[in-house]
Amino acid sequence: MQINPPYLMFLGDVPDALAAKTAAGVVDWRRDWCIGQLRLPGCAADLGIPDISIAEAVAKGCRTMIVGIVNAGGVLNESWIPSIVGALEAGMDVASGLHIRLGSDERIAHAAFANGRQLFDVRVSEQRFATGKGTKRPGLRLLTVGTDCSVGKKYTALALETAMRARGFDADFRATGQTGVLISGRGVAIDAVVADFISGAVEWIAPAAEPDHWDIVEGQGSLFHPSFAGVTIGLLHGAQPDAFVVCHEPTRTTMRGVQHPLPSIADVIDLTIRCGRLTNPEIRPVGIAVNTKAMADDGEARRLLDDLAREHDLPATDPIRFGVETLVDRVEADFPRAMPDAKRA
């Protein structure tokens, strides 16, 4: 699919910032594509870009409205329909990362057809996938895993791609969620793949490659999350990672949307290794990425990271606040065959 920028980011009436994480991710990594945001009354999220109307968005050259919302079940709320129809009638295409197809609503389907506009359902892939085989394939892969949902797995993977490329690595971000697909222009929303084919879809996303090529695979969910662990385990087996980074939000006590307690970082490392060995016996952790946004003070955040690094004998950082250079250092140390030629010399 070819989704055309610039974008109008639609936030609807989401109850918190995490419910708009798709929109926030696109703005953070493709800021120049995002002209403004459209929020309904009661919206509790703000992307930090101008609030504009549909008419203003069209006047500023917006070509696509992005429904940048995440909710349980990926449902299309009735309160959003007038805005989506309005964007189509004004001449914009509409793209969505929801599970529910935009065209499943007759009003939206009719508006798209009547105005010659396109509907993009990013979670829906026309690609047919085989079942995963688990056979060791050439190339190197790094997977971001989490203690919970929405802890920074995508941001960490994108930051690692950027930093590794800057050092001369042959590295590519591999999107497995709707936001990552909107950011990178390729990938598959793994949580929308029929369960039997999840690992096969990941093998397709990150296929056999040159020995020194790194695929940086975006993680999803958590092995400990009762709602989403099925997606996480299929992703782990299909990615066949040589390395993984644990992503964590330190202020939570329960996992998002459920009452189950947050697992420890040590628990995640142990279970990821035990499960990951099925398709890659050499799997190993190379770092910890911590979302310290809730900590106002840099000193407090650094003390936490230093404590975690000592406790787990791994580099620990906040990719947004402090960068991922220490994680790349560990990759270089643990996988010397993947180092740029200049460093080998």
pLDDT exceeds cutoff 60 at 52: yes
Reported as half-sphere exposure (CB side, CA atoms, 13 A), residue 59 has a value of: 5
Give percent of the chain above pLDDT 70.
97
pTM above 0.85, yes or no: no
To the nearest whole percent, how much of the chain has pLDDT over 90? 84
Give Cα separations from 296 to 292, 300, 301, 321, 323 (angstroms): 8, 8, 8, 11, 17
C-alpha to C-alpha distance for 185 and 343, rounded to whole angstroms: 31
- For residue 345, the model assigns a pLDDT of 42
pLDDT higher than threshold 80 for residue 185: no
CB neighbour list of residue 2: distance below 8 Å, 6 or more residues apart:
none
3-class state of residue 245 by DSSP: strand
Rounded (5°) CA angle 289-266-295: 40
* pLDDT tens for each residue of 143-170: 999 999 999 999 999 999 999 999 999 9
pLDDT confidence tier of residue 184, bands split at 50, 70 and 90: confident
Q: What percent of the chain is helix, strand and coil (3-state, nearest 5)?
A: 40, 15, 45
Q: In this predicted model, what pLDDT tens digit does every residue of 200-240 receive, in sequence order?
A: 999 999 999 999 999 999 999 999 999 999 999 999 999 99
Instruction: Please name which of 112, 106, 101, 248 lies closest in space to residue 189, comparing C-alpha atoms.
Output: 101
pLDDT in tens, 248-286: 999 999 999 999 999 999 999 999 999 999 999 999 999
DSSP designation for 16: S
Encoding tokens for residue 314?
A: 């791994």
Strand partners, 121: 96
Q: In angstroms, rounded to a whole number, what is the distance separating the alpha carbons of residues 118 and 157?
A: 30
Residue 340 pLDDT more than 70? no
* Domains in the chain with CATH codes: 7-121 (3.40.50.720), 140-344 (3.40.50.300)
Task: Check residue 338 and give its pLDDT.
Answer: 43
- Dihedral, 270, 138, 248, 27 alpha carbons, nearest 10: -170
pLDDT value at 112 more than 60: yes
Task: Identify the weakest region by mean pLDDT among 17-21, 40-44, 140-144, 145-149.
Answer: 17-21
Query: Which pLDDT value is given to residue 155?
Result: 94
Separation of CA 78 from chain center: 26
Q: Look at 26-35, 72-81, 215-224, 228-237 and tell me which has the smallest mean pLDDT.
A: 72-81
Q: What is the pLDDT of residues 294-333, one digit of tens each?
A: 998 999 999 999 999 999 999 999 999 999 999 999 999 9
Q: How confident is the model at residue 182 (pLDDT cuts 50, 70, 90)?
A: confident
Cα–Cα dist 169/341, whole Å:
9
Q: How does the average pLDDT of the chain come out, rounded?
A: 93
